């Protein structure tokens, strides 16, 4: 456990427009909790009374198919809100799991709702986060239905991950999270073997390179053009 500073909180996109007095109250009511890789932060169909934000590392939000396979919906990084519902107080629709060692800012839901009542800026920030997730969900549905080739699905997913977690290197944009072929299969909802073959096609085209759980997007713009074909 630990504590985050006001300066650190202000640097996160979610909190940038929120008044300092509200942020200070949030800090006073919150704590930073550490989770190990693959540790579940909350379960699907459970009712949490805590609001969660990523402080460091990445987490996965996923569900299970009727066959028991994992379908990853989002990978979220620093400053992102993890809860799918706060005001409605409904059970979680998804599982939340640490993709690596992570630290999470946790605040009691009751105190967070009180702060939302005091601050229109905080309420707007929550709405923006939900709108962002709905937008991303819409694009995911578009890219995972119909006859879209697996190579294009993988290209679209890698491009979005590169935008969210990319680091510029001499070789291209590196997705700076541990990303195995199995996890990529969970992200696009496809068998691992199909994903592996699709990645080889993208590699042969000179668009990506993969090794040591890291994807390097050699031609970032070309990858976008490929999945939009």
DSSP string, 4-47: --HHHHHTSGGGTTS-HHHHHHHHHHEEEEEE-TT-EEE-TT--
Please check whether residue 160 lies inside any domain of the structure. Answer: yes
pTM assigned to the model: 0.77
Whether residue 112 sits in one domain with residue 49: yes
If DSSP codes are grouped into helix, strand and coil, which group holds residue 102? Answer: strand
Cα gap 157→123, rounded to integer Å:
30
**Residue at which a domain ends, from 143, 169, 194:** 143
Residue 142 pLDDT greater than 70, yes or no: no
- List the structure tokens of 124: 């707007």
Contacts (Cβ under 8 Å, ≥6 apart) of 99: 37, 57, 58, 59, 60, 75, 177, 178, 183
Considering only residues 91 and 144, tell me which one the structure prediction assigns the higher pLDDT.
Answer: 91
Bridge partners, 175 (sequence order)? 166
Confidence at residue 191, expressed as pLDDT on a 0 to 100 scale = 87
* Structural domain of 193: 150-227
- Alpha carbon 139 to chain centroid, angstroms: 14
Residue 229 pLDDT greater than 80, yes or no: no
Instruction: Please state the domain count of the chain.
Output: 2
Residue 205 pLDDT greater than 60, yes or no: yes
Confidence at residue 139, expressed as pLDDT on a 0 to 100 scale = 65
**pLDDT more than 90, % of the chain:** 62
**Residue at which a domain ends, from 110, 128, 143:** 143
Considering only residues 148 and 6, tell me which one the structure prediction assigns the higher pLDDT.
Answer: 6
Please check whether residue 189 lies inside any domain of the structure. Answer: yes
Whether residue 118 sits in one domain with residue 43: yes
CATH number at residue 82: 2.60.120.10
Whether residue 162 sits in one domain with residue 134: no
Whether residue 164 sits in one domain with residue 133: no
Whether residue 214 sits in one domain with residue 189: yes
Please check whether residue 1 lies inside any domain of the structure. Answer: no
Residue 37 pLDDT greater than 50, yes or no: yes
Whether residue 154 sits in one domain with residue 139: no
Please check whether residue 53 lies inside any domain of the structure. Answer: yes
Considering only residues 69 and 198, tell me which one the structure prediction assigns the higher pLDDT.
Answer: 198
Whether residue 179 sits in one domain with residue 137: no
CA 15 to each of CA 26, 126, 211, 225: distance values in angstroms, whole numbers, following the listed order: 11, 10, 35, 34
Whether residue 122 sits in one domain with residue 12: yes
**Residue at which a domain ends, from 143, 164, 179:** 143
Average pLDDT value for residue range 64-84? 87
CATH number at residue 199: 1.10.10.10
Whether residue 191 sits in one domain with residue 139: no
- Listing DSSP states for 161-194 in one string gives HHHHHEEEETTEEEE-S---HHHHHHHHT--HHH
Cα gap 166→160, rounded to integer Å:
9
Out of 53-67, 111-125, 146-160, give the one with best mean pLDDT.
111-125
Whether residue 117 sits in one domain with residue 25: yes
Region of poorest pLDDT, from 36-40, 57-61, 142-146, 221-225: 142-146
Residue 147 pLDDT greater than 60, yes or no: no
Please check whether residue 73 lies inside any domain of the structure. Answer: yes
In the sheet that 214-217 helps form, which strands lie side by side, from edge to edge?
166-169, 172-175, 214-217, 208-211
Please check whether residue 176 lies inside any domain of the structure. Answer: yes
Whether residue 128 sits in one domain with residue 193: no
Average pLDDT, the chain: 89
Confidence at residue 133, expressed as pLDDT on a 0 to 100 scale = 84
Confidence at residue 227, expressed as pLDDT on a 0 to 100 scale = 81
Whether residue 32 sits in one domain with residue 124: yes
């Amino acid at each position: 456990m630990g504590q985050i500073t006001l300066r650190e909180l202000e640097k996160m996109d979610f909190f940038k427009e929120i008044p300092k007095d509200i942020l200070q109250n949030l800090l006073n009511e919150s704590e930073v909790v550490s989770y190990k890789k693959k540790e579940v932060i909350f379960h699907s169909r459970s009712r949490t009374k805590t609001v969660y934000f990523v402080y460091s590392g990445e987490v996965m939000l996923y569900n299970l198919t009727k066959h028991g396979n994992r379908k990853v919906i989002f990978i979220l990084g620093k400053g992102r809100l993890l809860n799918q519902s706060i005001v409605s107080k409904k059970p979680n629709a998804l599982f939340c799991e640490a993709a690596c060692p992570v630290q999470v800012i946790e605040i009691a839901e009751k105190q967070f709702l009180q702060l939302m009542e005091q601050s229109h800026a905080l309420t707007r920030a929550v709405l923006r986060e939900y709108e962002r997730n709905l937008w991303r969900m819409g694009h995911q549905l578009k890219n995972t239905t119909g006859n879209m080739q697996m190579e294009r699905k993988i290209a679209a997913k890698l491009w979005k991950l590169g935008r969210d977690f990319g680091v510029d290197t001499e070789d291209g944009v590196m997705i700076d999270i541990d990303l195995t072929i199995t996890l990529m299969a969970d992200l696009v909802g496809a068998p691992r073997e199909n994903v592996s073959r699709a990645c080889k096609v993208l590699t042969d085209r000179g668009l990506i390179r993969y090794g040591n759980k890291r994807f390097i997007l050699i031609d970032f713009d070309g990858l976008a053009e490929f999945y939009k074909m």
